[in-house]
């Protein structure tokens, strides 16, 4: 079968479905180590198994596949890092939804954790998921998956904790909170800012997204690459891919808030505009935003060229990011 | 100098002062890697440098000393685990103080973090300290301290994340929240429970303290022992020591709330009684509580016997725990 033949055989839908099932099963295996009757465990399960896209763990697995030998079965040894990343992503959503932060009542069509349980339980469940992510990476022998060497695991913990921490996701959320404060003050002063191509705001927006979502998407791809023992050059190419899709993902989100179908998305659209949220369409317009996202995806695909057909899942994911309907 | 001579020369006050300075300096070195102007960093510093007792990191250092060769300078390679433990302790205080949890306005005589900054900043600062604890343990080469081998660091991360997580500190806080709820319902139903020797309550109280504070005190001692390559027997003895002082520490806290001098403690006394909080004196009486604490300290000291004079700091700390005035 030639390269083209393999390409046309590949179904992203099937690939994502298959990987999601694998990830969901592994998450349930990890949770099954706990007594299900405890409120903390129910709350962890409620959030973790809430039908997420699993984009980050899928990226982690697809990235490892890109480096591993073609006949190497790598999914089993990358599953703990993939699950740890999903746990950290879930904790960040729980804390972001809290009344003191974004104060959201719904997440993935279900009541947010603090609405379903309580605010205290939501804070502690977020803390628990974050802590448990590092636990499963440091005690892999307790779980029925193939393990990785200590130095590789330590490197992965370092990569993930860096991206999730003070110089990554958490600072991104700090910037997001501040942006909302600015936006609130603008609303209070009754200025009607419809469309401003403001370079300093654009820089702020890019920085915020790079930190808030970009760093963890990059860490997901890097964790897979590190697990599969990527060399420096391979790691750089995959990081470049990840940085580009991370930003494109956010722009696509902003566009969906304007053009999306709320029945497909399972949430209301137009809320960014209503809340005068800092978005790409608001700052550079809808057309320019779309072009920018396409440019980023093109950069991402270029960074994958060196990997040949092994990068097919990552290529398809890149396209899916700007073509998705939710 | 004979053993007795060394014993009588040892000043716990001097030892604690010296170690605290060392720990404070290391924490400042770790924080100095960040841009001081960022709100998140100011908030981390505000809480982390708020004149804590540093009991957990001191235990970590003293425990390593107990295993290391007499001439071995071990403080430098144990300082990152010691600081990580203090970061996790600090994050837990920040989240416990939040309005949705204990709703405290003061901590160590200063406004709590959410009062000084904001609730959102307090949630994120807690998250940041927890995440950064694992970052410094997984990227030790970024800091100017002697490092430990990867497998040892991974073992320490496993020990700490287990104690801080779903089966340790966080579940303890869940139980504490539930205990307050029970106590609140009792108050509402106007029952006047002054003194009840209730075995199920006592079991609940012990379990709550074991999880909420005991596990992290045990992990502090164990982390030091693991870093210094303790064998299984040595680790068991040190764990036994830690479990006993952990519970004694909590009983001493309950007693101080009745007998303590508020001017020495820097906080008001009698609040447990006023709030009808579940405490040892409330459940088994003051005298029995004191006897129980002494018994625990005696067990702790017995577990140290095998280490001879190298255990002197740990011995003195055990006594200090029930003799302290704040």
User: DSSP state, B211?
Assistant: I
Domain that holds residue B176: 12-323
**For residue A3, is it within any domain?**
no
Residue A130 tokens, joined: 């974050």
**To the nearest whole angstrom, how far is the Cα of A280 from the nearest Cα of chain B?**
25
Distance from CA of A213 to the nearest CA of B (A): 15
Q: Which residue has the tokens 């628990």?
A: A128
- The yes-or-no verdict on residue B196 having pLDDT over 50 is no
pTM of the model: 0.93
Helix (H, G, I), strand (E, B) or coil at B111: strand
- Please count the structural domains in chain B: 1
Supply the DSSP symbol for A107: E
Residue of chain A nearest B130, judged by CA positions: A131
| The token pair that represents B64 in the structure block | 């390593």
**Residue in B131, B150, B170 closest to A161 by CB:** B131
Within a domain: B236: yes
Taking only the tens place, the pLDDT of each residue in A129-151 is 999 999 999 999 999 999 999 99
Question: A5: how many CB neighbours lie within 10 A of its CB?
Answer: 9
Asked if the model's pLDDT at residue B191 lies above 80, the reply is no
Instruction: Provide the pLDDT for residue B108.
Output: 83
DSSP A272-288: HHHTT---HHHHH-HHH
Please check whether residue A102 touches B, CB under 8 A.
Answer: no
What pLDDT does A181 receive?
63
Residue A6 lies inside a defined structural domain of this protein: no
Say which residue the tokens 């396209």 belong to: A319
Q: Residue A5 domain-assigned?
A: no
Hey, which residues 147-186 in chain A have their CB within 8 Å of chain B?
A: 150-151, 153-155, 157-158, 161-162, 164-167, 170-171, 173-174, 177
List CB contacts of A12: < 8 A, sequence separation 6 or more: A313, A316, A317, A320
Lowest mean pLDDT among A126-135, A262-271, B108-117, B132-141: A262-271
Q: Is the pLDDT reported for residue B194 higher than 50?
A: no
Q: Does B7 fall in a domain? A: no
Nearest CB among B131, B174, B177 relative to A130 is that of B131
Residue in the structure block whose two tokens are 């995806």: A297
- pLDDT given for residue A260 in this prediction: 74
How many CB atoms neighbour CB A204 within 10 A? 17
CATH number of the domain encompassing residue A69: 1.10.600.10
Helix axes A75-97, A39-48, angle to 10 degrees: 100
Whether residue B320 contacts residue B12, with contact meaning beta carbons closer than 8 Å, is answered with yes
- Give Cβ neighbours of residue A136 (< 8 Å, ≥ 6 apart): A30, A80, A83, A84, A87, A142, A143
CB neighbours of A322 closer than 8 A, spacing ≥ 6?
A: A248, A251, A252, A293, A294, A297
Structural domain contains residue A311: yes
Q: Are residues A134 and B171, on separate chains, in Cβ contact within 8 Å?
A: no
Say if A128 is an interface residue toward chain B (CB within 8 Å).
yes
Please check whether residue A211 is in contact with residue A172, taking contact to mean a CB–CB distance below 8 angstroms. Answer: yes
DSSP labels for B267-295?
A: S-SSHHHHTT---HHHHH-HHHHHHHHHH
Chain mean pLDDT for chain A: 89
Using CA coordinates, name the residue in chain B closest to A127.
B127
Beta strand pairing call for B106-107 and A110-111: unpaired
Within 8 A of B118 by CB-CB distance, chain A residues are 100
For residues B194-211, give the mean pLDDT.
Answer: 78
DSSP structure class, residue B194: -
Nearest C-alpha neighbor of A157 from the set B79, B35, B156 = B156
| CA separation for the pair B62, B317 (Å, rounded) | 9
Task: Find residues 106-125 of chain A whose CB sits inside 8 Å of chain B.
Answer: 118-121, 123-124
Alpha-carbon gap, residue B248 to B296, rounded angstroms:
6
Q: Among A40, A127, A157, whose Cβ lies nearest the Cβ of B134?
A: A157
Q: Is the pLDDT assigned to residue A194 strictly greater than 50?
A: no
Residues of B in contact with A44 (CB under 8 A): 166
In sequence order, what DSSP letters do the residues of B141-166 get, joined into one string? GGSSS----HHHHHHHHHHHHHHHST
Q: Is the pLDDT of residue B107 over 60?
A: yes
Interface test with A, best of B31, B119, B124 (most A CBs within 10 A): B124
Strand partners, B106: B111
The pLDDT value recorded for residue A196 is 44
A320 close to A252: Cβ distance less than 8 angstroms: no
**Residue A192's pLDDT band (boundaries 50, 70, 90)?**
very low
pLDDT at A3: 42
pLDDT digits (tens, 9 = 90+) for B232-241: 999 999 999 9
Q: How far apart are the CA of A317 and the nearest CA of chain B, in angstroms?
A: 29
Q: Are B48 and B132 in contact (CB under 8 A)?
A: no
Does residue B118 sit within a domain? yes
Residue A149 within a domain? yes
B186, pLDDT greater than 60: no
Mutation site for A-interface testing, chosen from B100, B143, B152 by largest number of A Cβ within 10 Å: B100
The pLDDT of residue B262: 66
The ipTM estimated for the assembled molecules is: 0.93
How close, in Å, is residue B148 to chain A by CA atoms?
12
């Amino acid at each position: 079968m030639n390269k083209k033949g393999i390409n046309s055989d590949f179904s992203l839908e099937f690939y994502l479905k298959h990987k999601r099932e694998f990830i969901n099963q592994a998450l349930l295996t990890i949770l099954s180590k706990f007594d299900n009757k405890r409120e903390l465990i129910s709350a962890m399960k409620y959030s973790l198994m809430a039908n997420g896209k699993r984009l980050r763990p899928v990226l982690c697995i697809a990235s490892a596949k890109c480096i591993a030998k073609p006949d190497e079965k790598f999914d089993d040894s990358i599953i703990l890092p993939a699950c740890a990343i999903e746990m950290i992503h879930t904790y960040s959503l729980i804390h972001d939804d809290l009344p003191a932060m974004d104060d959201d009542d719904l997440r993935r069509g279900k009541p947010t954790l603090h609405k379903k349980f309580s605010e205290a339980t939501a804070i502690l469940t977020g803390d628990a998921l974050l802590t448990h992510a590092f636990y499963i990476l440091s005690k892999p022998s307790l779980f029925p998956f193939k393990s990785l060497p200590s130095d590789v695991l330590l490197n992965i913990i370092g990569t993930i904790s860096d991206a999730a921490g003070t110089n990554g996701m958490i600072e991104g959320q700090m910037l997001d909170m501040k942006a909302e404060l600015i936006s609130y003050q603008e609303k209070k002063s009754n200025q009607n800012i419809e469309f401003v191509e403001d370079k300093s705001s654009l820089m702020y927006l890019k920085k915020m997204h790079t930190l808030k979502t970009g760093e963890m998407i990059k860490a997901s791809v890097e964790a897979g690459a590190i697990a599969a023992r990527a060399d420096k050059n391979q790691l750089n190419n995959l990081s470049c891919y990840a940085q580009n899709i991370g930003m494109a993902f956010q722009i696509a989100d902003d566009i969906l808030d304007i053009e999306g179908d709320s029945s497909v998305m399972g949430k209301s659209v137009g809320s960014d505009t209503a809340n005068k949220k800092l978005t790409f369409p608001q700052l550079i317009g809808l057309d320019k935003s779309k072009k920018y996202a396409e440019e980023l995806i093109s950069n991402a695909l270029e960074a994958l060229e060196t990997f040949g057909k092994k990068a097919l899942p990552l290529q398809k994911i890149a396209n899916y990011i700007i073509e998705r309907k939710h």
